[in-house]
């Protein structure tokens, strides 16, 4: 038994499994493979669908790297006046929309996409 313990003590310690380190991406590296680097203006180099001039989709993310989120993808929705088929239109000079008018990507329950004139 003492011989076995002596032999075991002479073995090298078990090594931890070796895992390759994740690639390190710098400002000149295109880490997501979309053809753009951060130095070229890629605003999210971890996502290949977000790059300068990309297609903006309504997802809460700046897909085209212009510092605006979901521009041109949201629709103005109107809540009809109770008991009527009409709703209050938004005037171009109004700074803020009334509470019965909202911007959303998809139609909320009870809202309509167009407001007939009253």
> For every residue of 24-60, which 3-state class applies, written as one string?
CCCCCCCCCCCCCCHHHCCCCCCCCCCCCCCCCCCCC
Domain residues for 44?
Answer: 34-71
Using an 8 Å Cβ cutoff, are 54 and 63 in contact? yes
The reply to whether 47 falls in a domain is: yes
Domain count, the chain: 2
3-state secondary structure at position 6: helix
Which tokens belong to 72? 């041109």
Any domain includes 24: no
pLDDT tens track for 8-55: 666 666 665 666 666 678 889 999 999 999 999 999 999 999 999 999
pLDDT of 53 reads 94
Q: 37 or 79: whose pLDDT is higher?
A: 37
Environment class of 92 (CB within 10 Å of its CB; exposed 0-12, middle 13-18, buried 19+): exposed
DSSP-derived secondary structure letter, 95? S
pLDDT tens-digit series, residues 88-116 = 555 555 555 566 777 788 888 888 776 65
Q: Is the pTM above the cut of 0.85?
A: no
């Amino acid at each position: 038994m003492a011989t076995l313990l002596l032999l075991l003590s002479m073995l090298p310690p078990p090594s931890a499994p070796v895992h390759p380190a994740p690639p390190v991406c710098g400002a000149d590296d295109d880490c997501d493979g979309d053809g753009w680097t951060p130095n070229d203006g890629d605003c999210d180099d971890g996502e290949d669908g977000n790059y300068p001039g990309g297609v903006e989709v309504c997802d809460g993310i700046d897909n085209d790297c212009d510092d605006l989120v979901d521009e041109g993808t949201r629709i103005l929705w109107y809540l009809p006046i109770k008991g009527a088929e009409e709703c209050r239109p938004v005037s171009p000079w109004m700074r803020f929309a009334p509470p019965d008018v909202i911007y959303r990507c998809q139609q909320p329950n009870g809202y309509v996409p167009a407001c007939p004139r009253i």
